[in-house]
Structure 1
Amino acid sequence: MANVAITGAGRGIALELVKLHLAKGDHVHALLRDPDGAAELNKLAAESGGLVTLHAMDVADDASVKAGAAQTGEGAIDVLYNVAGVSGNTETELESADFADWLEVFNTNVNGPMRVFQAFLPRLGSGAKVVSFGSQVGASTWPYPGYEVYAASKAALHRLMLSIALGTKDRGIIAISVHPGWVQTQMGGPQADLTPRESAEGIAALTSSLTPEMSGGFYKWNGEPHAW
């Protein structure tokens, strides 16, 4: 049985990851801003025999991250998924930009995963896996305009995960970023290619197959390396 922590666990791909790890018999710490508002997750936890526990955590807030992590106890964390994120303005902002929006997006998408990583770092031992949700729009190989703030934040996240991988290599921690695909979520829309379940199944399989040699990489949801 693995101990798994998942941010943004109330919906979408993160909720499907909760279900997949529960089905394996793992203990899942489900981290989200509003536990009381997540009806499906609460039902899942109530029927899990204690394997799923809910904890309030807003990744954009230092105190909330520290408090949420502390509520999960002191045991080792085997897998940490940084899923929570925001898209910000997805229209082109070359003529003008809402920099308050930029600060919010970077605070959530870059500072957030770093806060969560630091909060759980004392509990990440050799073989622990940190999987942060990036995006192909944050890759230099993405040939489309727009999405400036979202793309920039995900590019920063990819580089952050490489730094984490290099900095924790001697501890045996494996850290990667993953492109979840174009998924039928609130962010991706109903016309997207993948269901949240399909994306989660691919990411869970990738996570279980991670080796130290893969640390620092950027991967697609199906396990293929993604150029960035």
Structure 2
Amino acid sequence: MANVAITGAGRGIALELVRLHLAKGDRVYALVRDPSRTDELNDMAAASNGLLSVHTMDVGDDASVKAGAADTGRDTIDLLYNVAGVSGSTKSELENADFADWADVFNVNVSGPMRVFQAFNPRLVAGSRIVSFGSQVGASTWPSPGFEAYSASKAALHRLMLSLALGLKDRGVIAISVHPGWVQTDMGGPQADLTPQESAEGIVALAEGLTPEMSGGFYKWNGEPHAW
């Protein structure tokens, strides 16, 4: 049984990660900004015989992250998923960028995973894995215009995970970023290629098969390396 912490766990791919790890018999800490708005997650917790608990965590707020992590107890964290994120503006901002929006996107998508890592860092041990949700639009190899704030934040996240991987190498902790695919979520839309379950299944397989040599890499949901 693994101890698994998942941010943004109330919907989409993260909710499917919760479901899959519960089915494996793992102990799951579901971290969400507002537990009162996650009825499905709360119902799953009530039926989990103590394997799933729901905790308040807004990754954009220092105090909330620290309190949310503390609320999960002191057990070792074997697998930490940084899923929570925001898309920001969906239009091109080459001439009229909304820098308040930029600040929010970077606060949630880059500083957020760093806050979460630091809050759980004392509970990471050799073999622990950090899997952060990046995006192919954050890769320099991906010729996609628009989404400037979101794309730049995901590029920064990829580099942050490489930094963590290098800094945690001697402790045996693995850190990667993953492109979840184009998924039928609120962000991806109903026309996307993958269902949340398909994406989550691939990501769980990737997370469980990680080796120290893979640390610092950027991967697709199906386990293939992604150029960045």
- Under a length normalisation based on structure 2, what TM-score does the superposition of the two structures give? 1.00
Q: Distance in 1 between matches of 2:207 and 2:222?
A: 10
Q: Which residue of 1 aligns with 2:179?
A: 179
Q: Which residue of 1 aligns with 2:121?
A: 121
* Cα drift, residue 177 of structure 1: 0.0
Aligned residues: 228
* Cα drift, residue 144 of structure 1: 1.8
Q: The residue matched to 2:158 in structure 1 has which SS?
A: helix
Q: The residue matched to 1:4 in structure 2 has which SS?
A: strand
Structure 1: tracts of 5 or more residues without a match: none
Structure 2: tracts of 5 or more residues without a match: none
Q: The residue matched to 1:105 in structure 2 has which SS?
A: helix
* Cα drift, residue 96 of structure 1: 1.1
- Under a length normalisation based on structure 1, what TM-score does the superposition of the two structures give? 1.00
4+ residue segments displaced more than 3 Å: none
Q: Distance in 2 between matches of 1:80 and 1:145?
A: 31
* Cα drift, residue 91 of structure 1: 0.8
* Cα drift, residue 11 of structure 1: 0.3
Q: Which residue of 2 aligns with 1:14?
A: 14
Q: Which residue of 1 aligns with 2:210?
A: 210
Q: The residue matched to 1:225 in structure 2 has which SS?
A: coil
Q: Deviations over 1:175-222 (max 9, x none)?
A: 000000000000000110000000000000000000000000000000
* Cα drift, residue 90 of structure 1: 1.7
Q: Distance in 1 between matches of 2:156 and 2:144?
A: 18
Q: Distance in 2 between matches of 1:136 and 1:99?
A: 23
Q: Distance in 2 between matches of 1:89 and 1:144?
A: 15
Taking every aligned residue pair, what percent have the same amino acid on both sides? Answer: 79
Q: Distance in 1 between matches of 2:90 and 2:178?
A: 20
Q: Deviations over 1:122-152 (max 9, x none)?
A: 0000000000000000000111211100000
Q: Distance in 1 between matches of 2:55 and 2:145?
A: 38
Q: Distance in 2 between matches of 1:26 and 1:209?
A: 16
